[in-house]
Amino acid sequence: MDFLTLLQILDSTLRLATPLLLACLAGLFSERSGIFDIGLEGKMLIAAFFSAAIAATTGSVWIGLMAGISASVVLALLHGLASITFRGDQLISGVAINFLAAGLTVLISEDWFQQGGRTPQLSGAARFNPITLPLTDTIGAIPVIGPIYTEVLSGHTILVYLALLAVPLTWYVLFRTRFGLRLRAVGENPGAVDTAGVSVTRLRYTAVIIAGILCGLAGAYLSTGFSAGFVKEMSAGRGFIALAALIFAKWRPWQALGATLLFGLLDALGTRYQNIDILGVNLPVQFMQALPYILTVIILAGFVGKAIPPRAGGEPYVKER
């Protein structure tokens, strides 16, 4: 593998890891508060549709982004209503959201555009365009560092940089602020938080809304940044891969970045190398494309070490009288 090929793979890794990273951080906020959320997939999907649909209608990707985030937050609030207010089963609520999003996106898309579950192709101001980072000419002349800066780091859409920025921001909020301390505490011992006079319900709803916003960004990136429009089921299991990455990262933001980059790398390798010979054995294209999902199964099967979730995760809180 030459240096140019390596740079191209790393560039693809970053692009493919971005929606996973945003969804993983969404799950991090939600599950740190004690609300398990397997509805990440559904929120990403509905955000992808409404972002592309509204951007195609208005010609503005920013209006589309706001629409996608709003749709994702609505589903997040629905999950919160079922899980927090009515104390329902969080896993069933998440599954229901995934089915709801899968059905609604196709139904509304066909009603609005009559293109078999697709939206019109986006172009110009209706989609996010690549950004060239400053000093590319100057830094680009530096051996090794220059090509990495110009070919890997530069040339992405603004949502890629927002996703990278969200990692240190998430770390700071969770581990350096009073809100983060309370959020982590409510996922471990909500009774103690309630005794201290802090509303468990408000904290959990706040976490669920933050998760909805981040899933909205992930979905909008899929349809208006990574692609140029929405297609049916375009989230393609990324919400579940993000959950596996979250477990792999043991619910920590910096580790989440590494985990999602690993999944992105496997996806990039599977896309670029359709067939690979290893010790005389030819690995088919289907195996290469399945690499991220194989790693997901390995992680969920517990082969990467024990991951202990928040102690109060998945349990509805009943206030003592």
Model pLDDT, residue 135: 83
**Residue pair 11/151 in contact by the 8 Å Cβ criterion:** yes
Model pLDDT, residue 139: 86
**Residue pair 21/260 in contact by the 8 Å Cβ criterion:** yes
Please compute the mean of the pLDDT values over residues 141-147 and round it to a whole number. 86
Among the residue ranges 130-134, 164-168, 205-209, the one predicted with the least confidence is 130-134
> What angle do the packed helices 3-32 and 178-188 form, to 10 degrees?
70
Measured CA to CA in angstroms, residue 186 lies from 40, 86, 133, 249 at distances of 21, 18, 40, 20
Please compute the mean of the pLDDT values over residues 144-170 and round it to a whole number. 93
Contacts of 154 (CB under 8 A, 6+ apart): 131, 132, 133, 136
Per mean pLDDT, which of 2-6, 186-190, 304-308 is the most reliable? Answer: 186-190
DSSP letter at 125? G
DSSP reduced 3-state for 156: strand
pLDDT of 54 over the 90 cut: yes
Model pLDDT, residue 304: 63
Angle 231-235-238 from CA coordinates, rounded to 5°: 160
Identify the band that residue 229 occupies on the pLDDT scale cut at 50, 70 and 90. very high
**Residue pair 43/238 in contact by the 8 Å Cβ criterion:** no
Distance in angstroms (rounded) separating the CA atoms of residues 23 and 210:
11
**Residue pair 223/229 in contact by the 8 Å Cβ criterion:** yes
What is the bridge-based pairing of β-strands 276-278 and 281-283?
A: antiparallel
Model pLDDT, residue 4: 83
**Residue pair 29/170 in contact by the 8 Å Cβ criterion:** yes
Model pLDDT, residue 231: 94
Model pLDDT, residue 157: 95
**Residue pair 245/28 in contact by the 8 Å Cβ criterion:** no
DSSP reduced 3-state for 123: coil
**Residue pair 231/217 in contact by the 8 Å Cβ criterion:** no
Name the maximum alpha-carbon separation found in the chain: 69
Model pLDDT, residue 138: 85
Element (H, E) at 277: strand 276-278
Model pLDDT, residue 223: 96
Q: Distance between terminal CA atoms of the chain?
A: 66
Closest CA to 12 of 263, 181, 196: 263
**Residue pair 160/19 in contact by the 8 Å Cβ criterion:** no
pLDDT in tens, 63-81: 999 999 999 999 999 999 9
pLDDT in tens, 279-304: 556 666 677 777 777 777 777 666 66
